[in-house]
Amino acid sequence: MEESATLRIGSENYNFPLIKGTESEIAVDLRTLRSESSCITFDDGYGNTGSCESKVTFIDGEKGILRYRGYPIEQLAEKSNFLESAFALLYGELPSENQLNSFRKKISDNAGLRENMAKGLHSFAPDAHPMAVLSAMVNNLGTYHPEKSTNDRKRDLEAFDDTAALLISAIRTIAARDYRNRKGLAPIPSDPSLGYCADFLQMTFGDSNNPQPPPQKVCEALNLVFLLHADHEQNCSTSTCRMVASGGANVFASVSAAIGALWGPLHGGANMAVIKMLKDIHDSGDDGSRFIEDAKNGKKRLMGFGHRVYKNYDPRAKILNVACNDALEELGVSSPILDIARHLEEVALSDEYFIQRKLYPNVDFYSGILLEAIGFPLNMFTVIFAIGRLPGWLSHWKEIAESGSKIHRPRQVYQGATVRDYVSIEER
One-letter amino acid for residue 39 of the chain: C
Q: Which alpha helices (DSSP H) does 184-314 contain, by range?
A: 196-205, 216-228, 236-246, 251-262, 270-283, 289-296
Task: Let me know the angle formed at the C-alpha of 86 by 85 and 91, rounded to the nearest 5 degrees.
Answer: 100
One-letter amino acid for residue 419 of the chain: V
Catalytic residue among 199, 307, 314, 396: 307
Cα–Cα distance measured from residue 132 to residue 239, given in angstroms and rounded to the nearest whole number? 19
Catalytic residue among 364, 396, 408, 421: 364
- DSSP, collapsed to helix, strand or coil, labels residue 83 as helix
Active site residue 307: yes
Cα–Cα distance measured from residue 426 to residue 167, given in angstroms and rounded to the nearest whole number? 57
Q: What Å distances lie between residue 273 and 367, 368, 369, CA to CA?
A: 11, 8, 11
User: What's the longest Cα–Cα distance across the chain?
Assistant: 79
- Whether the CB-CB separation of 340 and 282 falls below 8 Å is answered with yes
Cα–Cα distance measured from residue 211 to residue 202, given in angstroms and rounded to the nearest whole number? 8
Active site residue 364: yes
Q: Which helix (H) or strand (E) holds 72?
A: strand 71-72
Q: Which residues are catalytically annotated?
A: 307, 364
